């Protein structure tokens, strides 16, 4: 069953979404060559705890860390550890703070960061992924939209750019539960799937591969990688359906930048279709 959130519940989601947006802004300048994904996870954990929130990924179905860090060919669910970021890497950082800490609301968002100087191939897949999220948000904000419209808009654009869309992982309903209905595939046919209704909260989080769309899980039971070793990028927002479109609950009040302020380092969509 798809939950319809009340006005008071949406206000709780706004607070969690704002915290998630601030968390990504906090971690952005730390994403640079020589830093380990373990260090990024520690900073995220400490920052979240200091704000009387908790990290939803920690111990979620056995996941061992506070965030997901997914470099290069990792599609999603990368476990932070000793991996040292190097010049030319791309890395997706996926955070989900829960506010308040106990029985709270979830704010789920992610962005793919450039580490140092990206290759043309890295720039291409990251910028396609960024635009795919924007197009998914725009599709969700149209009157009478259905879930299939979101996936269709993303798939058409990604494939026109020579990229592919991961099928194995979808957006999802969210609230006081981390993952719930509806499932939001990033491929689809227009006019299909559940109709978007006021009060629905869910994520849009397209995973875009430079090569084939297929992926597989590593032996750790979490880390998903592209089957052909190609680069993968992802951006994610949590949204709520309003009376006249959708509101991006994890919209940021500033553009993310890496520690090196370069033209291609502006990370993350700021589109917000308000109620």
The 10s digit of each residue's pLDDT in 169-197 is 999 999 999 999 999 999 999 999 999 99
We report the CATH number of the domain holding residue 167 as: 3.90.230.10
Domain-located, residue 1 = no
Quote the number of domains for the chain.
Answer: 1
Domain-located, residue 173 = yes
Average pLDDT, the chain: 93
Element (H, E) at 204: strand 201-204
Domain-located, residue 192 = yes
Domain-located, residue 270 = no
Domain-located, residue 274 = no
Residue 130, domain extent: 7-265
Q: Residues 55-58: contacts with CB within 8 Å, 24+ apart?
A: 55/95, 55/96, 55/97, 55/98, 56/96, 56/97, 56/98, 56/106, 56/108, 56/178, 57/94, 57/96
Domain-located, residue 275 = no
As a whole number of angstroms, the distance between CA 209 and CA 122 comes to: 10
- The tokens for 20 are 């998630």
pTM comes to 0.94
What band does 258 get if pLDDT is binned at 50, 70 and 90? Answer: low
What band does 260 get if pLDDT is binned at 50, 70 and 90? Answer: very low
What band does 97 get if pLDDT is binned at 50, 70 and 90? Answer: very high
What is the end-to-end Cα distance of the chain in Å, rounded?
Answer: 23
């Amino acid at each position: 069953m798809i939950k319809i959130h009340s006005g008071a519940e949406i206000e709780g989601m706004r607070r969690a979404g704002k915290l998630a947006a601030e968390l990504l802004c906090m971690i952005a300048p730390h994403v640079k060559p020589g830093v380990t994904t373990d260090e990024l996870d520690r900073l995220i954990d400490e920052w979240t705890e200091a704000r009387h929130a908790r990290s939803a990924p920690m111990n979620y179905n056995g996941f061992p860390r506070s965030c997901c860090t997914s470099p290069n060919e990792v599609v999603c669910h990368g476990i932070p550890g000793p991996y040292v970021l190097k010049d030319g890497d791309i890395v997706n950082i996926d955070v989900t703070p829960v506010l308040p800490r106990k029985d709270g609301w979830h704010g789920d968002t992610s962005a793919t960061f450039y580490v140092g100087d990206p290759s043309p191939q890295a720039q291409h897949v990251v910028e396609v992924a960024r635009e795919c999220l924007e197009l998914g948000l725009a599709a969700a904000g149209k009157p009478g939209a259905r879930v299939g419209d979101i996936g269709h808009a993303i798939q058409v654009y990604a494939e026109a750019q020579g990229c592919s869309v991961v099928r194995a992982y979808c957006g999802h309903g969210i609230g006081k539960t981390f993952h719930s209905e509806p499932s939001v595939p990033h491929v689809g046919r227009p006019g299909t799937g559940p109709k978007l209704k006021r009060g629905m909260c869910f994520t849009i989080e397209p995973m875009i591969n430079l090569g084939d769309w297929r992926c597989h899980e590593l032996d750790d039971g979490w880390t998903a990688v592209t089957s052909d070793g190609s680069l993968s990028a992802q951006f994610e927002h949590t949204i709520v359906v309003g009376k006249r479109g959708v509101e991006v609950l994890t919209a940021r009040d500033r553009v993310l930048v890496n520690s090196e302020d370069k033209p291609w380092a502006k990370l993350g969509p700021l589109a917000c279709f308000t109620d």
